[in-house]
Structure 1
């Protein structure tokens, strides 16, 4: 199974970061992710879905400013664990860092932003019924505090 390329279950993996970090298979079941650092890594990558995140920033965010002695090796090991959980193609090496291969709309935060914009435009266009439906869909994406699994939710990623 891969990030945005889907799987035999006909659809992409969806990522939640509006609450506890989760990866959901197309059938809605959660992918077991393991420990807090793995969820923090996925959170930082999902914030920038489809874009490269420099290794230094990943280390800073995942270890909350207290990196291990061999930070590059520890990050590589963590990325390897994430790839085993999500599928090898879900996390690509890119430009001195890594990127989640998901489309932005496969991440609840980015989908929320899109739906909130659509709702705001519907209100501005005088269509409160459409706005209510779209904004309800946006609010339904929230499952707790944003970036709940990021050690420092005031960090650059947030």
Structure 2
């Protein structure tokens, strides 16, 4: 048989959907706080409250498929609208256009998010907290503290706050953020490790000293030694069985006691 000299078709290398979605899109999602999505440094529109509820419900499934019925229940509860199924399909279609078909996949009549564990702030926080508990159990409290602080480092949330602040300053005052705030934004974008460093705790305040002695003498009290001596003389000179009786007179506070 002769050789085939016709054009050759090169089949592109196939990659696992989950890995491709994370690497190519660079997506990151936030559930700890407002539901947000971003690609790299760019915030992505998440749509109406119902569409954000759909996104949150899918992210909370941890990659497992959610049926249409489950999503309808998550969005509307016990009182869904008559066109709930069509609405879910519409929300899913819009999210797929924003996130990409590899990220939001249709599966067995439902939908599933194909993202890696580092693409969701909730998963990152849970993993760090789990590692912190293991470190604490092994006696490494310093590492446990570091991991817990990392579990609380919320980059997307911080960037969203900066964007809201910048928009508010522009709309209300017509000014840009101060250089210090812009510098902080750049440090957040670079994931500056210093931002996650725990702040040194102040030294505990010393316990107040409780009094454990008799009160000090009154500074302007001169004493009553002469009267004590006179009273002692009267008692000492009593004759026979006669009881000596003396009375002290004076206003309160002059030292009769």
TM-score normalised by length of structure 1? 0.79
Asked whether the 8 Å contact 2:72–2:84 carries over to 1, the reply is yes
Q: Deviations over 1:92-139 (max 9, x none)?
A: 111231101112332111211111000011111111111111100102
SS of 2:102's equivalent in the other structure is helix
**Hey, what's the Cα distance between the residues in 2 that align with 1:54 and 1:103?**
21
Asked whether the 8 Å contact 1:49–1:103 carries over to 2, the reply is no
Report deviation, 1:67: 1.5
**Hey, what's the Cα distance between the residues in 2 that align with 1:47 and 1:104?**
12
Report deviation, 1:29: 2.4
- Rg larger in 1 or in 2? 2
Matched, 1:134 2:147: yes
Structure 2: 5+ residue runs without aligned partners? 1-16, 158-257
Corresponding position of 1:48: 61
Aligned with residue 28 of structure 2, among 14, 33, 42: 14
1:1-158 equivalent positions in 2, closer than 5 A: 5-6=21-22, 12-25=26-39, 27-141=40-154
- Structure 1 vs Structure 2 CA RMSD: 2.2
**Hey, what's the Cα distance between the residues in 2 that align with 1:117 and 1:6?**
23
SS of 1:19's equivalent in the other structure is coil
Structure 1: 5+ residue runs without aligned partners? 144-158
Report deviation, 1:18: 0.7
Report deviation, 1:16: 0.6
Q: Deviations over 1:69-104 (max 9, x none)?
A: 122211111100111121122211112311011123
Q: Deviations over 1:28-57 (max 9, x none)?
A: 321111211111111000001311011101
